[in-house]
């Protein structure tokens, strides 16, 4: 029986098995975090966005979307406001690496040979790589050498032309986009009922010294928790981002998986 959903967890095991056991169906794993996103958005933005991108890409490519990682690595002050803020609930790096390694190995055991990790939380990046590296090493011990893994973050597909449309007054830079125009616009396009733009705090982009201090200095993070103003976010900008990023990811997976 052909698969009836883009989400692997919604299939029966025989339908899932039939879809993946020959290694031709890619599996997309969204990887997010539970992290504060200012006064105007919920804590699971970093889960909702990569999951939706994965769903759209799966429909375009015949892939399946695995259940997302809903907890991620600790929020960094210069990219997510910091792990000290209320609501942000994080994993130690070793925990994330171990969980990811196990999940990659399990999909390989099922027969999956094309895997894509869709990241929605910047701080996850290096731990994703470590989890994959350890998984591939252990799979080689079992004689599995043909698993291919693509790792990507959806925002890396936003090209200069789109940036000019999104930020006509100047782009503040990805480092301070936490809770700003990009994420808020996507949420307005996808989950408007979860956005309270009237509660968003309008402030200049955060600035930080060229070093880190631990324990963090809470005063370095804007009180809102966001690192730039989301006030210029819109549904229209969200639609631009959805189109650009989805097309970019589809093209990447076709290039790598055929």
Asked, for residue 171, whether it belongs to a domain, the answer is: yes
**Phi and psi torsions of 185, nearest 5°:** -65, -45
How many whole angstroms separate alpha carbon 48 and alpha carbon 42? 10
Q: Is 210 exposed, middle or buried (0-12, 13-18, 19+ CB in 10 A)?
A: exposed
How many whole angstroms separate alpha carbon 139 and alpha carbon 146? 9
The confidence score (pLDDT) of residue 190 equals 98
Asked, for residue 95, whether it belongs to a domain, the answer is: yes
Q: How many domains does the chain have?
A: 1
The answer to whether the beta carbons of residues 236 and 162 sit under 8 Å apart is no
The confidence score (pLDDT) of residue 1 equals 40
Q: Convert the pLDDT of each residue in 130-175 to its tens digit.
A: 999 999 999 999 999 999 999 999 999 999 999 999 999 999 999 9
Ranges of the chain with pLDDT below 50? 1
- Report which of 137, 96, 94, 95 is spatially closest to residue 117, judged by C-alpha positions: 96
Asked, for residue 218, whether it belongs to a domain, the answer is: yes
CATH number of the domain bearing residue 138 = 3.40.50.10310
Establish whether the linkage from the previous residue to 215 is cis, with ω within 30° of 0.
yes
The answer to whether the beta carbons of residues 4 and 41 sit under 8 Å apart is no
Active site residues: 35, 37, 46, 121, 123, 178, 183
**Domain encompassing residue 121:** 8-257
The confidence score (pLDDT) of residue 5 equals 85
Radius of gyration of the chain (CA): 19
The confidence score (pLDDT) of residue 3 equals 56
Strand locations in the chain (E):
27-31, 64-65, 114-119, 148-153
Asked, for residue 1, whether it belongs to a domain, the answer is: no
Asked, for residue 3, whether it belongs to a domain, the answer is: no
């Amino acid at each position: 029986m052909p698969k009836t959903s883009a989400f692997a967890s919604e299939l029966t095991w025989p339908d899932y098995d039939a879809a993946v056991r020959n290694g031709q169906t890619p599996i997309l794993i969204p990887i997010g975090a539970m992290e504060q996103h200012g006064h105007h958005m919920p804590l699971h933005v970093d889960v909702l966005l990569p999951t939706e991108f994965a769903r759209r890409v799966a429909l375009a490519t015949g892939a399946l979307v695995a259940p997302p990682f809903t907890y991620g690595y600790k929020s960094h002050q210069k990219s997510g406001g910091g792990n000290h803020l209320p609501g942000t609930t994080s994993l130690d790096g070793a925990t994330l690496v171990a969980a990811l390694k196990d999940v990659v190995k399990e999909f390989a055991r099922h027969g999956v040979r094309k895997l894509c990790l869709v990241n929605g939380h910047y701080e996850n990046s290096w731990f994703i790589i470590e989890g994959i590296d350890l998984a591939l090493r252990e799979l080689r011990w079992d004689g599995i050498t043909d698993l291919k893994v693509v790792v990507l973050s959806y925002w890396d597909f936003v090209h200069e032309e789109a940036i000019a449309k999104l930020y006509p007054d100047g782009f503040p830079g990805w480092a301070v986009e936490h809770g700003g125009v990009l994420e808020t616009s996507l949420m307005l396009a996808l989950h408007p009922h979860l956005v309270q733009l009237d509660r968003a705090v309008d402030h200049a982009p955060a600035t930080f010294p060229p070093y880190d201090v631990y324990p963090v200095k809470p005063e370095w993070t804007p009180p809102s928790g966001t690192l730039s103003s989301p006030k210029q976010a819109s549904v229209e900008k969200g639609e631009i981002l959805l189109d650009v990023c989805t097309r970019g990811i589809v093209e990447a997976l076709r290039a790598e998986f055929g």
